[in-house]
Amino acid sequence: MLHVFIDTNIFLSLYAYTDDNIEELNKVVKLIQGKEVKLYVTNIVNQEFYRNRDRKLVDSLGNLEKFTTSLSIPRFMEHHPESKEVRQLLKEVSSKRAILIEKARAEIINQTLAADLLFIELRSSGPLALISEEDVEDARKRMERGNPPGKDGSLGDRLNWEHLISKVPDQTDIHVISRDKDFASPMGAEVPNSFLSNEWKTVKKARMFLYDGIKSFVKSHFPDIKLASDIEKILAIKKLVGSKSFDQTHSAIALLAPLSADITGDEASMLFSALIDNSEIHAIAEDTDVKEFYEGLLVDHFSVLSNEDYEAVTAYVEDKVPF
């Protein structure tokens, strides 16, 4: 499991024009649900998010509001039919723009934007962490000493950092996703600040990693995931392949069965190998759920098997299909 802190500026960037997008945030939600990621969200991040949300949205919406459809056509072109067509098209664009802005404003006021709903889901993925008085005192000392993260006179990032130090288990790497230069080295946006990196190494006996966006984090650790919808399938396959008990096998099959139509040939090959090699699977291959799942897999993907593996698989799954 990866222990992750997402800075407020990353959440707010989802309202602007950046590489991060809703699909990337959706991936993180699925990874948390699949217990691949543990996310730390503090009340400081929550407060800062809502403190800056409206301003960020006004800035983003402003570009569309400033867009003008006015166009002056010289009189010597008026006799061309295209002049009238251009005016009509611009009138339609202006009308559509007004409708779009009205809908966006309603979603902003009601806090029903996709980013709003996903932030709430992420924030609710675990109990919202309250900064302790001890964290406050330690952050104040950090500020007085001029130690990062954070700008002069600011406690925000220092409070988050002190919370991470106190709550992340020892000998556990921390993965920070932030565009804030206070976390980064002048050597690069994804090079951790050497003071913070060395502090984590000294105090927690582990490493600090830094990413300048959610996309960069996901690509570094889950490169095979293209869509958020893939995550549930990938994690279920991983759970079945690595099954350590009959209960885990049944649980993984229950997750995979509805997704069987999306299983690729490479994934099927991996699942067939698991049936052959993992006794926690083939020992209960006659159980209805396991049997039906692998029979369906055989029908769809028997061509990925060699003659030898086909015989091995069908030794556990009796209903053979023509090879």
Tens of pLDDT, residues 192-240: 999 999 999 999 999 999 999 888 998 899 887 777 767 878 888 989 9
Average pLDDT over residues 265-271: 90
pLDDT reported for residue 280: 93
64 confidence band (pLDDT: 50, 70, 90): confident
CA distance 272 to 211: 36
CB neighbours (10 Å) of residue 226? 11
Return the minimum-mean-pLDDT range out of 67-71, 155-159, 163-167, 264-268.
67-71
Average pLDDT over residues 130-146: 91
Average pLDDT over residues 271-283: 93
pLDDT reported for residue 214: 87
Return the minimum-mean-pLDDT range out of 85-89, 246-250, 318-322.
318-322
The residue whose two tokens read 């279920």 is 236
38 confidence band (pLDDT: 50, 70, 90): very high
17 confidence band (pLDDT: 50, 70, 90): low
pLDDT reported for residue 5: 95
Average pLDDT over residues 179-191: 90
Condensed to tens digits (0 to 9), the pLDDT of residues 98-125 reads 898 899 889 899 999 888 888 888 887 7
Task: Please give the residue that has the higher pLDDT: either 24 or 248.
Answer: 248
Q: Cis omega (within 30 of 0) on the bond before 149?
A: yes
pTM for this prediction:
0.72
Q: Is the pLDDT of residue 323 over 50?
A: no
What is the DSSP secondary-structure string of 188-229?
A: EEEEEPHHHHHHHHHHHSS-EEEESSHHHHHHHH-TT--SHH
277: nearest Cα among 285, 265, 266? 285
The chain-wide mean pLDDT, for the chain, equals: 87
pLDDT reported for residue 30: 84
